[in-house]
Structure 1
Amino acid sequence: MTYKEANNISIKDYLNSLGIQPAKEKGSYGMYRSPLREDNTPSFKVDYNANLWCDYGTGEGGTLIDLVMKQHQCNAYGAICRLEQGDTASFSFHGKELPERETKRQAASPIEIHRIQPLQNPALIRYLQERGISPGTASPYVQEMYYRIGGKPYFALAFRNDSGGYELRNPRFKGSTSKDITHIRQQGEPRDTCFVFEGFLDFLSFLTIRQQKSPDIPCTDWQDYVILNSTANTDKALYPLADYGHIHCMLDNDEAGRKAVEAIRQEYKWRVRDVSHLYSGHNDLNDYLRSLKVKQSQDLTVTDKPQPEQDNRQNPGEKRKRGLRM
């Protein structure tokens, strides 16, 4: 059995051969109790279309070979040997069960990845700065990818999702190698609060705003994060959000954003808070961040004029103005 043949074995059928059944199935994926650890609440996701797994409890994931390697503490060759010794006749092979046009689409994927490396390209750093985002804040979460489409070379910011794919952004391109959510869990004690964003630029905008407003204590690790990477992925976010007592949605101020918030609220009721009013008048959080940058620039260009001395004391009955809190 070759490496490719082993990875083409359906993970779903492999788990079934071990007597592991999905606790919940929804369309293209299933949630299982992890075969790698004690798992009282199913948090092991199998994407049936991509034939990939992700253990939300440990943050690990990959192909079937990766799973067998983790189970038996062996290398890839040992994993293939174990799969050969199993009853492979009972396994279906990923790709054969897909519709013919879907198989052709995957075989003819337009993005050919050349390399992925840490963020350092001046053009991409400048793009982040133009969006108001601090490159230092972005670099732990974003890499740069060099790829080809139709034989032509390109490069873009690359933000990893839970299926091992990447969201890609540059000034002229918005796309992905595969679509899924990104769930970011903090280390240490489980958090009770999760912030939900539509895109990773909004997530990075939030971190930048927090760093600017409270550089000493930005509180960016007091909560977990879910980035949908598209409102079409809202259903995929529902299961991981079940663990949180407080869910704060910072989605776009448009119809798609409102529908996504409503879908999450229908599932989790009072636990959900829509906080898009914090940037009302703007399409999304990054739009709001860029408006702050423009305002700061305008303030710096105001010519200095002698101003009459003013009493800083608050007049009786005057309400103190409150700035936007985020």
Structure 2
Amino acid sequence: MNIAQTKQIDIVDFLKAIGCFPTKETACAAWFRAPYREDMTPSFKVNKNRNIWYDFGLARSGDIIDLGILIYRTHDISRVLKLIENAAPGIPVRARTFQPSSEGRNETLRNIRTGTLTSVALKSYLTSRGIDIEIGIRECREIHYTCHGKTYFAIGFPNIAGGYELRNLYYKGCIAPKEISVANTAKTALSCCLFEGFMDFLSYLTLVRQGKLLPPCRQPDLIVLNSVSNLSKALSRLKAYKKIYCFLDNDDAGRKAVDLLREMNTVTVYNVMEAFPYYKDVNDLLLNKKRMP
């Protein structure tokens, strides 16, 4: 199995196959004792809908491959994939189900309120992603809203059209309109740094603050696409720069976006993430979470 196929293996079924059974299970979630450490009180939760896990004891989350790294105590991804496949040969892969777009889901969001990021739970989520809390509070907002009569809250990252990207441990969506975000804009900036999502943007700022990453130039504009599919919305703005430093994901979509920008000819485009081929994105670079490109 390759990485994409392995990620479709149901985590709950995998844990049961290796002898770890839930202490509590509902239609949406299952609780376990963490399978890779001593855990007297079950603090390991699997979100069945998203097929991800969260360890409340370590404030750490991930997919089945991240789990395999911890269980088998190796960062050799090829070995992890093989061990997972061998441990659960009879488990069918999860069917891919249709999910409405974030814009479609936005129609059910009501009573939207924004404020300063103060929630302990949301700050803890940022910490689990390695984000500097001061940076998170400065760049993001706390959004409260209702959906189908229930109240929720999430980290909100504003875009140039008044909408927000929404993120918490269990949800990834947006408040329309869906648009790009622009930060640190200087009237005379000739260069910009381009990010796919705001977690990569926050990770970049954190790495710079920690002295682990040098800005590619002096006072660049910082642009977040909020989805690589938004690239077309940013093209007119990007054409105004002399240099674009791309911090896009190390995947086919990210590389195709870089190639498209290079076709503009009037702009010099650098694919910064080529220097970090074993990291999927900037947040993985911040967390030192290596994987095969």
Q: Distance in 2 between matches of 1:140 and 1:281?
A: 30
Q: 1:27-82: CA deviations, max 9, x gaps?
A: xxxxxxxxxxxxxxxxxxxxxxxxxxxxxxxxxxxxxxxxxxxxxxxxxxxxxxxx
Matches within 5 A, 1:215-254: 222-254=219-251
Q: Residue 158 and residue 268 in structure 1: after superposition, are their counterparts in 2 closer, same or farther (change >3 A)?
A: farther
Letter in 1 for 2:199: L
Residue 135 of structure 2 is matched in structure 1 by 137
Matches within 5 A, 1:1-326: 109-178=107-176, 179-187=178-186, 189-213=187-211, 222-268=219-265, 271-291=268-288
8 Å Cα contact 1:207/1:220 also seen in 2: no
Shift of 1:148: 1.2
Shift of 1:138: 1.8
Q: Distance in 1 between matches of 2:125 and 2:217?
A: 23
Does the residue aligned with 1:288 lie in a helix, a strand or coil?
A: helix
Q: Distance in 2 between matches of 1:176 and 1:269?
A: 33
Residue 36 of structure 2 is matched in structure 1 by none
8 Å Cα contact 2:242/2:267 also seen in 1: no
Q: Distance in 2 between matches of 1:108 and 1:252?
A: 26
8 Å Cα contact 2:180/2:223 also seen in 1: yes
Greater C-alpha Rg:
1
Q: Distance in 1 between matches of 2:222 and 2:254?
A: 17
Bigger shift: residues 173-182 or 202-211: 173-182
Q: Distance in 1 between matches of 2:243 and 2:204?
A: 18
Does the residue aligned with 1:213 lie in a helix, a strand or coil?
A: coil
8 Å Cα contact 1:197/1:250 also seen in 2: yes
Q: Distance in 1 between matches of 2:106 and 2:211?
A: 46
Does the residue aligned with 1:195 lie in a helix, a strand or coil?
A: strand
Shift of 1:268: 3.9
Could you say what the CA RMSD is over the residues aligned between the two structures, in angstroms?
A: 2.6
8 Å Cα contact 2:258/2:271 also seen in 1: yes
Does the residue aligned with 2:192 lie in a helix, a strand or coil?
A: strand
8 Å Cα contact 2:193/2:245 also seen in 1: yes
| Structure 1: runs of 5+ lacking an equivalent | 1-104, 295-326
Letter in 1 for 2:160: D
Residue 48 of structure 1 is matched in structure 2 by none
Q: 1:249-307: CA deviations, max 9, x gaps?
A: 01001111111111211124651111112332111110111127x9xxxxxxxxxxxxx
Q: Residue 107 and residue 205 in structure 1: after superposition, are their counterparts in 2 closer, same or farther (change >3 A)?
A: closer
Letter in 2 for 1:135: I
Q: Distance in 2 between matches of 1:246 and 1:113?
A: 42
8 Å Cα contact 1:144/1:156 also seen in 2: yes
Letter in 1 for 2:134: G
How many residue pairs end up in the alignment? Answer: 187
Shift of 1:199: 0.1
Letter in 2 for 1:183: V
Q: Residue 128 and residue 221 in structure 1: after superposition, are their counterparts in 2 closer, same or farther (change >3 A)?
A: farther
Percent of residue pairs identical:
38
Q: Residue 108 and residue 251 in structure 1: after superposition, are their counterparts in 2 closer, same or farther (change >3 A)?
A: closer
8 Å Cα contact 1:198/1:227 also seen in 2: yes
8 Å Cα contact 1:201/1:286 also seen in 2: yes
Q: Distance in 2 between matches of 1:225 and 1:281?
A: 24
Does the residue aligned with 1:112 lie in a helix, a strand or coil?
A: strand
Q: Residue 137 and residue 270 in structure 1: after superposition, are their counterparts in 2 closer, same or farther (change >3 A)?
A: same
8 Å Cα contact 1:195/1:247 also seen in 2: yes
Q: Residue 184 and residue 108 in structure 1: after superposition, are their counterparts in 2 closer, same or farther (change >3 A)?
A: closer
Letter in 2 for 1:240: R
Does the residue aligned with 2:263 lie in a helix, a strand or coil?
A: helix
Q: TM-score scaled by structure 2?
A: 0.59
Q: Distance in 1 between matches of 2:106 and 2:259?
A: 36
| Structure 2: runs of 5+ lacking an equivalent | 1-102
Q: Residue 177 and residue 262 in structure 1: after superposition, are their counterparts in 2 closer, same or farther (change >3 A)?
A: same
